């Protein structure tokens, strides 16, 4: 695996931060409703990147987004909120603005013009309970 140049933090710092998050939320939300993590499938992220990537005649690659932003949400049908806190993902343009269109349907059908993606998978349903970041 080749090294990449992105910010990282030590494992102990990450555990402290995850624990602090859970400790703060447990004061306001029942333990069973606190999200542990959200899996964002790479193939879905890559599809968004590909949509906003162009290659010119000389093979130069241009990206028209700087990344994606995830908004935490609770689906309307999740009245008891057991494990269904997910995230909606939107592409972010080069100026740092969300790319959101005014779709009426938003059903993911061909021709749907929504740029609000709903493909995340919540933890604990999609978890690694052996991870040191899976704080009890």
The torsion angles phi and psi of 6, rounded to 5 degrees, stand at -135, 155
Q: What confidence tens digit (pLDDT) does each residue in 44-54 have?
A: 999 999 999 99
Q: How sure is the predictor about 3, in pLDDT bands with cuts at 50, 70 and 90? A: confident
Q: What confidence tens digit (pLDDT) does each residue in 58-84 have?
A: 999 999 999 999 998 877 665 555 556
The 10 Å CB-count burial string (b at 16+, else e) for 36-45 is bbbbeeeeee
The encoded tokens of residue 74 equal 């609770």
pTM: 0.75
Q: Which residues contact 89 (CB under 8 A, 6 or more apart)?
A: 40, 44, 45, 48, 68, 69, 70, 71, 116, 117, 118, 119, 120
* Spatial distance between the Cα atoms of 118 and 89, rounded to a whole number of angstroms: 7
Of 45, 27, 25, nearest to 91 by C-alpha is 45
3-state DSSP assignment of residue 125: coil
């Amino acid at each position: 695996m080749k090294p990449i140049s992105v910010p990282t933090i030590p494992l102990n710092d990450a555990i402290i931060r995850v624990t602090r998050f859970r400790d703060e939320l447990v004061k306001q939300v029942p333990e069973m409703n606190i999200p542990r993590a959200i899996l964002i499938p790479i193939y879905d992220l890559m599809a968004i990147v590909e949509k906003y990537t162009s290659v010119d005649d000389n093979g130069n690659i241009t990206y028209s987004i700087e990344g994606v932003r995830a908004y935490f949400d609770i689906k309307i049908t999740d009245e008891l909120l057991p494990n269904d806190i997910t995230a909606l993902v939107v592409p972010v343009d080069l100026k740092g603005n969300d790319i959101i269109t005014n779709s009426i349907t938003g059903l993911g059908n061909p021709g749907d013009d929504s740029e609000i993606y709903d493909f995340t998978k919540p933890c604990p349903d999609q978890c690694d309970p052996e991870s040191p970041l899976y704080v009890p």
